[in-house]
């Protein structure tokens, strides 16, 4: 079986035709639509409706397209979202993506350890991210 992504709130499957499908909305709520991200970790290519233009540095809200829950994780970092990643061996991971337009930062996490990080902007989150993650995991 191929890898898959799930909503961390409702466990809905979020992959369709090799794309992670998420709903998005600008912070002023004027721009809304769907985002189709390449499912490969570290591949930052995506498809979006041409009318949805976001400025570099703009923070965007991401939602599960099924249950509509906001995927941000302020307990880790307010600029990140979280989804569940299931690899080809059925092992589950938390995957965190940046909500900042133009920022390339992804973390693949298992329990309290960063397994892999991707993107030229990931290093700016590492120390803060790992500190918050370890605290959060100890509370569970």
* Spans of all domains in the chain: 4-139
The 10s digit of each residue's pLDDT in 6-20 is: 999 999 999 999 999
Spell out a b/e string for 33-54, using b for 16 or more CB atoms within 10 Å of the CB, else e: eebbbebebeebeeeeeeeeeb
pLDDT of residue 36: 97
Q: How many CB atoms lie within 10 A of CB 70?
A: 14
pLDDT of residue 28: 86
94-120 average pLDDT score: 90
Contact assessment for residue 5 and residue 55, using Cβ atoms and an 8 Å cutoff: no
Confidence check: pLDDT of 61 > 60: yes
50-71 average pLDDT score: 94
* Cα distance between the two ends of the chain: 30
At which residue do the structure tokens 């900042």 appear? 100
Q: How far apart are CA 23 and CA 71, in angstroms?
A: 10
The three-state secondary structure class of 104 is coil
Average pLDDT taken over every residue of the chain: 89
Q: Which residues contact 4 (CB under 8 A, 6 or more apart)?
A: 13, 15, 85, 86
Q: What band does 118 get if pLDDT is binned at 50, 70 and 90?
A: very high
Confidence check: pLDDT of 110 > 90: no
pLDDT of residue 114: 76
Confidence check: pLDDT of 40 > 80: yes
pLDDT of residue 108: 92
54-82 average pLDDT score: 93
Q: Which residues contact 17 (CB under 8 A, 6 or more apart)?
A: none
């Amino acid at each position: 079986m191929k890898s898959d992504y799930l909503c961390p709130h409702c466990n809905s499957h979020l992959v369709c035709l090799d794309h992670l499908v998420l709903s998005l909305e600008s912070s002023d709520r004027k721009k809304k639509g769907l985002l189709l991200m390449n499912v490969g970790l570290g591949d930052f290519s995506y498809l979006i409706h041409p009318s949805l233009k976001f400025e570099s540095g703009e923070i965007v809200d991401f939602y599960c397209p099924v249950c509509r829950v906001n995927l941000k994780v302020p307990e880790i970092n307010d600029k990140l979202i979280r989804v569940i990643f299931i690899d080809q061996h059925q092992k589950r991971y938390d995957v965190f993506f940046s909500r900042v337009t133009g920022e390339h930062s992804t973390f693949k996490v298992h329990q309290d350890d960063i397994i892999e990080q991707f993107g030229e902007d990931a290093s700016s989150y590492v120390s803060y991210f790992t500190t918050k993650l370890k605290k959060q995991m100890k509370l569970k």
